[in-house]
């Protein structure tokens, strides 16, 4: 019905846009497109062109509102996470509020962690090896080191 019609219209529109699209070839053309998109602000156009030049066509660019009047470009290599660590107990450097783990195991958990019971076998094995473990998860329900200690008891 209607959904099929919408899907066909979207497919046709995307196909047409692919045909008429002009690929940008260099940093100068990216700057021109970015400047127009930024209401003709050449400074922003230049910064966007620099960002795209640095991260490449498969890189990710995030635009954030600044806390000052300066406009700047920060390049972060690797991965960056929105939420950070679960608890300040994980901080290894109180001055910079960073949690640095060296030669750590990484567990990428695709879902929300609602109970540590499911992870207990992994946690016990890693604890025996004496290496740090970084757990990346969608979210942790309840959570915190105190709860982890309570569940182990």
Over pLDDT 90: what percentage of the chain? 40
Domains of the chain: 2-55 (no CATH), 88-152 (3.50.7.10)
pTM for the full model? 0.50
Decide if 125 contacts 92 (C-beta within 8 A).
Answer: no
Q: Which residues contact 34 (CB under 8 A, 6 or more apart)?
A: 44, 45, 46, 48, 49, 52
Rounded Cα–Cα distance for residues 82 and 3 (Å)? 35
The helix (H) or strand (E) run that includes residue 53 is: helix 42-55
pLDDT in tens, 2-46: 999 999 999 999 999 999 999 999 999 999 999 999 999 999 999
């Amino acid at each position: 019905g209607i959904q099929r019609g919408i899907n066909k219209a979207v497919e046709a529109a995307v196909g047409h846009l692919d045909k008429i699209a002009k690929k940008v070839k260099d940093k100068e053309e990216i700057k021109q497109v970015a400047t127009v998109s930024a209401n003709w602000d050449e400074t922003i156009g230049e910064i966007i062109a620099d960002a795209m030049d640095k991260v490449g066509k498969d890189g990710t660019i995030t635009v954030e509102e600044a806390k000052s009047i300066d406009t700047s470009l920060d390049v972060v290599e690797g991965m960056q996470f929105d939420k950070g660590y679960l608890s300040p107990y994980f901080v290894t450097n109180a001055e910079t509020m960073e949690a640095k783990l060296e030669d750590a195991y990484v567990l990428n958990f695709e879902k929300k962690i609602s109970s540590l019971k499911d992870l207990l076998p992994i946690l016990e094995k890693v604890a025996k090896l004496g290496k740090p473990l970084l757990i990346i998860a969608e979210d942790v329900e309840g959570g915190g080191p105190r709860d982890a200690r309570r569940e182990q008891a």
